[in-house]
Amino acid sequence: MPNRTFQTSSWKQNNQNKKYKIAHRRLVVTHHVATSPTKQKAPKNKNTNHNFFIALLLNKKFLKFTGLAALVGLIGFIILVLVVNSGLPNPNQLINREVAQSTKIYDRTGQNLLYEISGDQKRTLVKISDLPNYVKQATISVEDKDFYKHGGISVWAMIRTMITNIIFRRSAGGSTLTQQFVKNAILSNEKTFTRKLKEIILAIRIEQKFSKDEILQMYLNEIPYGSNAYGVEAAAQKYFKKQAKDLTIAEAAVLAALPQAPSRYSPYGPNKQLLLDRQKYILGLMAEQGYITKDQADTAKKEVIKFAPPDSNMIAPHFIMYIKDQLAEKYGEQAIEQGGLKIITTLDLYKQKIAEEVITQKTENYKTKYNASNAALVSIDPKTGQILAMVGSRDYFDDSIDGQVNIATSLRQPGSSIKPLVYATLFGKGYTPNTILFDVNTNFSNNGTPYEPHDYDLKERGPVSIRTALAGSLNIPAVKALYLAGVKNVTDLAAKFGYTTLTNPDRYGLSLVLGGGEVKMLEHVNAFGVFAREGEYHQVASILRVEDKDGKVLEEYKDQKDMVLDPKIAEEVNSILTDNAARTPIFGAKNFLTLPDRLVAAKTGTTNDFKDAWTMGFTPSLVTGVWVGNNSSVSMKKGSDGSIVAAPIWNEYMKRVLVGTPVEAFKDPGDLTTGKAVIDGESNVNRKVLINTQTNTIATSSTPPELTKEVIYTNPHCILYYVNKDDPLGPKPSDPSIDPQFPLWESAVLTWAQKNNIYASSSKLVIGDSAPTNPPQFDITGVADKDIIKDSKLNIGVNITSIADNANVEYYINNNLTYKTSVFPFTMNKTLNFLSNGYYNLKVKVCDASYNCTEKSLEFNLLLDNNYQNTPALNLISPSSGTIASASDFPLNIQLATNNYEKVTKVDLFYKDASGVNPIKSLTSVTDKIITLSWDSSPGPGTYEVYAEYYDWNNNKKTSNSITLNVN
């Protein structure tokens, strides 16, 4: 077969992609084209074009459009065709190939090269006669089933595409195989009318000059298959390490599936299953069009496809493939593989390496210990939404665990890690972390099919606060929270948080709160950034800048943010997720959800079948999620929950990457009192009450002692007894049974009460929403007025004899709040060796749910043998004096250190400038030797002196050192 050489011509215009301008440096490319090929006949297919044409003629929008534009359009079109046609080449001189240049992908510094998409094109020319028929037929069946019938273009396909794109606003392809050859080998991918017109004219002229098999041979030698493999022979070598003539039917269908979108369908990217699904679709087409039998197609569909290993020179391979997929969608395959782009990504290489190391080390024995073969980690800067680290699997190059599948962009069930979103929605309706929900076995279905979820330990805890329920990840209260919040409201908020998969509330039902809806890990992690930034959402970002080969900036990162949540609601959620004491009953005091040097917020999640285990956690500047499981969705061993398998990875990563970074504080949500008892934490279970025996009502201060009696008051009801779920702070429902869930919840509460020998008291004793207006009555126990205290540990309590038994109790020494509690029996155990010997005032304050309060005071004399006399000192340690800060650095953390924090009762932070002294922040409870106070807002440009004043237990005031801060 003779060689036919196509020389570079001067006719090719400067084709310009909308976002990328291609350089025009030409090379000569030689093609082997058969001179006398045997024409193939395609199987006969039923022609349905006449039906489409009739539908088109009846379409009013089309008739109106063509009627108005016919005359002007026809004249203009003829002129345009003549102009374009005059500049087209002789079909004997077709292919102009630009000099390919490498695209380089860097980390966020722009200095560390992560991956180079080589500009060296891998191309081996092949004769069409050397290919098995099914290799050609696989491509024809999916790309152009009428290839052997048309003359280069399909009018009907183009009209159908126009109607679909313009009228029905859906994208559809209308190019023949010949047109695709012209587009990929001769023209650019830009979507303009003139380029399309050139494509059509060239396709017709090529069909007039060459035979069908010559065109098909040129197509199969030119088409890009991804990863710089051009032509079917190079693709066969790239993906299967074999020649194209040795491909199986199944492998041929795989290669035919790639050209439509090589990056999207890459077997080395996150969408491998999409490629295999498309392969099966093509096999079906081949059978339908008569190229192979149904049995051959079925056999090929069952064939296990073994791909050659991917390139092993990638750093952060899952992230690279994620970036490559985005670039291909924006700029086209040709631009990213030949255009010499420079990509500056958001990746923090330091954090990425730590993430990879931690996952490798921590999961070394997970397969045998937990039957967990895979793990993934995503870390994001919540202030910007920028991805700092992405590990999509334990080992990208391990096919035994489907290592190329990127869990960060895959769909997985989040388990209980979705609960903060549900409770945030609930808080938005007026509920608070103190609100009481009964943790008792409940059937939530009234349609005959039971739905009765249980807590992981199968226990019932009775009345619990939302704080306890969320911190302890209790399932039954969570389902109730979802019902109260509303499934649709939760999915609406999820959309604002950036979730794109939680779009069908009717499908999930109440199981959504236990992970019934699938999410993408990348979106899940970024959603927790909304809590970290107190309600501010930042769109996920992975690219900081894209430059062309000449250094021209094609795109640059712009922060896309929106306020999607009330800051106070975020603060309420954060106050729970940072509360280690609240999670201690379930997770223990020492767990992997805390860090030694700073407060962090964290939430675990586990699916009921142990297929997915999660830990999500954050500081105000870093949010990280970890997933553990199997790509195949095989269950891990029972008990492999998020706190066991995912939390150790999360903890180690966070601990290492946060070393040496400033400690940041979470804002306190402040007073959460609403004035409604059940919302504020009242449960009406086992309360000690003084009653008037004559009236059977609450005793008052004027009730004679002989008429008072202490009783245990219990009147348990579910929350729906007290509130309208959609108006929780409104009036009590006149008929709670109107709510369809009320009978189910109420009966479950009563069953629990009976099972635990808890009986309702006399109905004449009315409490609940009608809180007593009389102040609480109590006595201080454990110490008397004027007592001499020689024991270093002070153990005191209160004996409450009124309805306020479940309210807040606060203990003050010399008017400094020392301890507060709302948990029975309200005792304070406090070591006093931080106090100097001498007289002290002790004040106890008891408040009921309506904030009726009573105070009592006494005096005690502290007389310890080994009294600790060290005088407290306080020093500013960060930032250092002379630091220069900008407005974007605020909130700015100010750190102080004390040698004896127990003797410090209050810290006031100030800054001083020419206008005088101004307060920054105060702290009235010092619990650590390192104190962090947040300077929330920039004072404006200038130089400021920053210092603190602090007080000891005797109210002596002292002043710390000062630093100079320059703000520009």
Q: pLDDT at position 168, please? A: 45
> Is residue 826's pLDDT more than 70?
yes
Asked whether the beta carbons of 615 and 591 are under 8 A apart, the reply is: no
Across 145-159, 239-253, 839-853, 889-903, the highest mean pLDDT is recorded for 239-253
What are the tens digits of pLDDT across the range 728-781?
A: 999 889 899 899 999 999 999 988 888 887 765 544 444 443 344 567 888 888
CA dist 194 and 186 (Å) reads 14
What mean pLDDT is reported for the chain?
82
Angle CA 191–197–202, to nearest 5 = 115
Q: pLDDT at position 914, please? A: 83
Across 126-130, 381-385, 658-662, the highest mean pLDDT is recorded for 381-385
Asked, as a colleague might, if the bond just before 825 is cis with ω within 30 of 0, I would say yes
Q: Which residue has the tokens 């640059």?
A: 556
Kindly list the distances between the CA atom of residue 98 and the CA atoms of 14, 15, 84, in Å, as whole numbers in the listed order: 11, 11, 22
> Is residue 788's pLDDT more than 60?
yes
For residue 175, how many C-alpha atoms fall within 13 Å in the half-sphere facing its CB? 22
Give the N- to C-terminal CA distance of the chain in Å, as an integer. 75
Q: pLDDT at position 310, please? A: 78
What are the tens digits of pLDDT across the range 601-623?
A: 999 999 988 999 999 999 999 99
| Cα-trace Rg, the chain | 36
Compute the average pLDDT of residues 773-794.
Answer: 80
Both structure tokens of 898? 């004390």
> H or E segment at 965?
strand 963-967
Band of the pLDDT at 805, cuts 50, 70, 90? very low
Q: pLDDT at position 518, please? A: 94
What number of residues does the chain have?
968
Residue 838 has φ and ψ, to the nearest 5°, of 150, -175
CA dist 239 and 954 (Å) reads 78
Kindly list the distances between the CA atom of residue 621 and the CA atoms of 389, 498, 642, 727, in Å, as whole numbers in the listed order: 14, 18, 23, 35
- Residue type at 31 in one-letter notation: H
> Is residue 39's pLDDT more than 70?
no
Asked whether the beta carbons of 219 and 233 are under 8 A apart, the reply is: no
CA dist 351 and 653 (Å) reads 8
Which is catalytic among the residues 98, 102, 141, 143?
143
pTM above 0.75, yes or no: no
Higher pLDDT, 30 or 535: 535
Band of the pLDDT at 65, cuts 50, 70, 90? low
CA dist 404 and 395 (Å) reads 8
Higher pLDDT, 553 or 194: 553
CA dist 771 and 759 (Å) reads 21
CA dist 469 and 440 (Å) reads 12
What are the tens digits of pLDDT across the range 649-689?
A: 999 999 999 999 999 999 999 888 888 889 998 887 766 77
Strands, E assignment, 160-207: none
Compute the average pLDDT of residues 156-160.
Answer: 64
Across 618-632, 704-718, 889-903, the highest mean pLDDT is recorded for 618-632
Across 265-274, 360-369, 958-967, the highest mean pLDDT is recorded for 360-369
Q: Which residue has the tokens 């587009």?
A: 183
Q: pLDDT at position 830, please? A: 76
Q: pLDDT at position 889, please? A: 82
What are the tens digits of pLDDT across the range 457-516?
A: 889 999 999 999 999 999 999 999 999 999 999 999 999 999 999 998 888 889 999 888
Q: Which of 214-218, 777-781, 814-818 is least confident?
A: 814-818
Q: Which of 238, 209, 227, 212 is nearest to 103 (CA)?
A: 227
pLDDT over 90, % of the chain: 41
What are the tens digits of pLDDT across the range 929-948?
A: 888 888 888 888 889 999 98
CA dist 863 and 833 (Å) reads 10
* DSSP state string for 337-394: HHB--EEEE---HHHHHHHHHHHHHHTTTHHHHHS--EEEEEEEETTTTEEEEEE-SS
DSSP state of 100: P
Q: Is there a catalytic annotation at residue 416?
A: yes
Band of the pLDDT at 24, cuts 50, 70, 90? very low
Q: pLDDT at position 468, please? A: 95
Higher pLDDT, 890 or 185: 890
Which is catalytic among the residues 102, 416, 575, 802?
416
